[in-house]
Amino acid sequence: MDFETIMTIGILVMVFLFGICIGSFLNVCIFRLPAGESLTKQNSHCMTCGAPIKWYDLIPVFSWLILRGKCRACGAKISGRYILVESMTGILFVLTFLRFDVISDGLIYPALLCLFIAGLIVIGFEDYDTQEMTVSVLMYLTLLAFFTRVITSVLPLRFTRGCDISLEDGIIGLFAVSVPLLFFGFVLTPLIYNFIDEDRKAVRRIRKRLKTEKLPVNEEQKLQKALETHAAAVKEKGMTFGFGMGDVMLMAAGGLMLGWKSAVVAAFIAIISGAVYAAVLKARADTDKPVRAFAFGPFLTAGLILSSFFGTQLMDLYIDFLTVPAIPAM
Ligand SMILES: [Zn+2]
């Protein structure tokens, strides 16, 4: 083995160990940020018996494996979520660095990508758990994407040789998916919803009758009551459904960081996998219990993470496929 191979393997091992430590911190973020708890407060203890956890039982991935997912003091099961997030972060970090020749491309760009993926992991699990995204993590992703675009435009090429996203790709990416999402989520869907929703239709029908028809008093009172019930149901459902503002911000940051091609591919991955998930939920749901709305964020973050690896290449292939080959000159 030559020196460069040994160096590369050494760097990848370091990246994995660093990744699982970051993953351990991400677990803390996922559990504490939605609850508004401090990230720095240092008192890890067992969720069941409350026994403080010793430092040697806090080693990412390895401690969980040694303890076989059980508390050392009371034997209660420790959530598999811990080792899932830790190993996932470590593996994604290594895969990200593997895309680059770390010796000649430098470590800056792959490291920035890893920091972005770390934020995506937190957003995905947060949204899955609580159906909400914390603003601080969305801000982190946006600022990191902005910083990356500035750094890769300003620094001499030899530091960021591996970066294949141009400033234009990033700026188009900022809007490519976020603006359509904003339009669908906040303009088109509420508009269509307004015409197909039974409660909204009922409100309009009753208002019209009350206005135009001469009705007996008891009939009018009955209608007034019905109007109140339907109006309350409308209010309960809210104006918007489907996408939230968090999804829009997430895709803006994702596009700025990964370029418009990856953002578009990510949106496709999310919509297709989300639709499959919804179909499965519907098929398995009880007839008396309607399907609850589910968070779309995990699908968007999974799409962004996957497309950070092959989004640009996949989109280029697709564009090539669409482009009619030029007739070769004689
Ligand atoms: Zn315990």
pLDDT at 279 over 90: no
Mean pLDDT across 282-288: 72
pLDDT at 74 over 70: yes
Kindly list the domain boundaries of the chain, sorted by start residue: 185-237
Question: If you measure from the C-alpha of residue 65 to the centroid of ligand 1, how many angstroms do you get, rounded to a whole number?
Answer: 16
Burial class (CB in 10 A: 0-12, 13-18, 19+), 296: buried
pLDDT at 160 over 90: no
Question: Average model confidence (pLDDT) for the chain?
Answer: 88
Question: If you measure from the C-alpha of residue 29 to the centroid of ligand 1, how many angstroms do you get, rounded to a whole number?
Answer: 21
Q: Report residue 155's pLDDT band, with 50, 70 and 90 as the boundaries.
A: confident
pLDDT in tens, 190-235: 788 777 778 888 888 888 888 888 888 888 888 889 889 888 887 7
* Structure-token pair, residue 111: 């490291």
Mean pLDDT across 241-246: 74
Which of these ranges, 38-47, 76-85, 243-252, has the smallest mean pLDDT?
Answer: 38-47
Question: If you measure from the C-alpha of residue 36 to the centroid of ligand 1, how many angstroms do you get, rounded to a whole number?
Answer: 24
Cα 246–Cα 180–Cα 263 angle in degrees, nearest 5: 70
- pLDDT of 289: 60
Question: If you measure from the C-alpha of residue 49 to the centroid of ligand 1, how many angstroms do you get, rounded to a whole number?
Answer: 4
What is the value of pTM for the model shown?
A: 0.84
Amino acid, single-letter form, for residue 297: G
Q: Report residue 136's pLDDT band, with 50, 70 and 90 as the boundaries.
A: very high
Asked if residue 257 lies in contact with residue 307, where contact means CB atoms within 8 angstroms, the answer is no
Question: If you measure from the C-alpha of residue 185 to the centroid of ligand 1, how many angstroms do you get, rounded to a whole number?
Answer: 44
Question: If you measure from the C-alpha of residue 78 to the centroid of ligand 1, how many angstroms do you get, rounded to a whole number?
Answer: 9
Mean pLDDT across 140-150: 96
pLDDT at 292 over 70: no
Non-local CB neighbours of 250 within 8 Å, separated by 6+ positions:
123, 133, 138, 141, 297, 300, 301, 304
pLDDT at 162 over 90: no
Which of these ranges, 1-10, 92-101, 107-116, has the smallest mean pLDDT?
Answer: 1-10
